[in-house]
Chain A
């Protein structure tokens, strides 16, 4: 007999939004999105075209997996037009407006540090496009909003195994592209460019850590981090670094952009944790984009069963 044990991140049937509510919500959102979707009198009418319209996004071949958050998906328009990607501007609509300048093909990623096969890999050599899988993850931003996104990509572990992680490697560091020609946001010094992020090696090897190259069945739009980005669903969104150009294996905790910018606000770990409040946002609740009220935030964004053991014995108030 086939017994399917449901995992904790698969929501129960009764906690899934009913279809009628879902459709209503969609109406609300498409209504909101029908026009420019940007606040401010001056900007009405702006954003007439977006990056994903300029670049035709190819359909991807992928297999479905058990990684399904269960929650209703956030509408595709919201996922691709409400973004934080400061390299393209600090407004939520800026990335969708400006990211068409990004050239995601051809793309190469430099892999160096404590690896067996350091090299500059072509995108296609690093990501096996015949092995793509879909994972529906919750994404929780530190600004207290959240989405449910169907990513397509490969587990980060597979990429690390390909390049051969050496025994001494304790951390993996990532770097985003920083090209003034392609990224107008670099002109303002909001952060120290290029954007850098990192994970501990056991976090990177965890099954949930994912490299996304697509969403909603197609290639990933520029503003969402084309051509490849990290997704670590149990951590705040800013850990999920976009448009990766360098991966470094190291024995030291790597610097991370928001930690450099405001160390008292953003730590290295950045696990979603409703118990640790942020100087600017209570993390106890979040607004799921498309919903009117706020829902309770789950510890580790609801992925505790898969990742809580990584932090056994650690004081997550200290290591926030």
Chain B
């Protein structure tokens, strides 16, 4: 059975949308429970839990969005790209939750302390850099902006997402104490996605299929 683009838009998009919302729903529900003094899964340091949870999901969803183009080339179908913008925007959404969690729940809007963090703690500076770079991408994500900018320069601008990916992994690795395996795994995935974008590598895959 062939799935048409129309079916993907009508059915696939709402499904992906709902899936992407699950972590946010889980987190909000648990904070609601916590504020009601009811059982919840946030653990003994709920602020730390939500910082990590939102950060992890922002990173994972960003990697998914970066994986769609190589994936569509691999399966020789443009269909996965249909979801790219939505998933990219979800990555931005979780980054925003991450920042709200840190600025509000963790630091309680202590702006002086926050500014000290930005200046003194390199991993915070790097994370803030990644966020700032994402803003223009999120703003120009509409069809209108593609037209206004012209497809070529729009695409050039959106290549910034590669830099964001690198900054996010650095931010994650610096946050962890000691030599830990998880940042390496996420860094490895990002590296693999970059390798799959190299034209020569893509050609190797193409030739193999041809044989």
Contact = CB atoms under 8 A, between A and B. Distances in A.
Interface in A169-203: 188-191
A145 B52 CA distance: 15
A277 B119 CA distance: 12
Interface residues of A, number: 43
Contacts of A44: 41
Interface in B36-78: 37-50, 52-53, 56
Given A285-B113, A289-B45, A32 B40 contact: yes
B175 A81 contact: no
B37 A39 contact: no
Given A39-B49, A280-B123, A31 B34 contact: yes
Interface stretch (B85-93, B143-151, B177-185, B202-210): B177-185
B178 A280 contact: no
A32 B34 contact: yes
Contacts of B174: 280
Interface in A77-131: 77-78, 81-82, 86, 90, 92-93
A289 B44 contact: yes
A24 interface: yes
A41 B26 contact: yes
Interface of A: 24, 27-29, 31-41, 44, 77-78, 81-82, 86, 90, 92-93, 145, 188-191, 261-262, 277, 279-282, 284-285, 287, 289-290, 293-294
Contacts of B49: 39
A242 to B, nearest CB: 16
Interface in B162-196: 174-181
A279 B177 CA distance: 11
Given A31-B39, A41-B23, A92-B44, 19 more contacts: A24-B37, A31-B33, A32-B44, A38-B41, A38-B43, A39-B52, A39-B53, A41-B22, A41-B26, A82-B45, A90-B177, A188-B180, A190-B178, A279-B121, A280-B174, A282-B113, A282-B116, A287-B47, A290-B44
- Shortest 3 CB-CB distances between A and B: which pairs? A34-B39, A82-B44, A39-B49
B108 interface: yes
A63 to B, nearest CB: 30
B43 A190 contact: no
Of the listed residues B107, B175, B179, the one surrounded by the most CB atoms of chain A closer than 10 A to its CB is B179
A31 B40 contact: yes
Contacts of A77: 44
A89 to B, nearest CB: 11
A277 B113 CA distance: 12
A284 B120 CA distance: 13
A144 to B, nearest CB: 9
Contacts of A287: 45, 47
Interface in B119-136: 120-123
A235 B39 CA distance: 33
A27 B52 CA distance: 24
Given A39-B49, A41-B23, A78-B44, A28 B179 contact: no
Given A190-B180, A284-B113, A37 B44 contact: yes
B45 A92 contact: yes
A36 B40 contact: no
B45 A35 contact: no
A279 B122 CA distance: 7
B120 A277 contact: yes
B43 A37 contact: yes
A261 B178 contact: yes
A28 B37 contact: yes
Nearest to A25: B37
B45 A145 contact: yes
Contacts of A285: 113
Contacts of A31: 33-34, 37-40
A38 B42 CA distance: 7
A290 B107 CA distance: 16
Contacts of B177: 90, 190, 261-262, 280
A280 B121 contact: yes
B179 to A, nearest CB: 6
A96 to B, nearest CB: 11
A185 to B, nearest CB: 11
Contacts of A35: 39-41
Contacts of B176: 90
Contacts of A261: 177-179
B196 to A, nearest CB: 26
A100 to B, nearest CB: 20
16 contacts: A29-B44, A31-B39, A35-B39, A37-B41, A39-B49, A41-B22, A81-B44, A90-B177, A92-B44, A92-B48, A188-B181, A277-B120, A279-B121, A280-B121, A282-B117, A289-B44
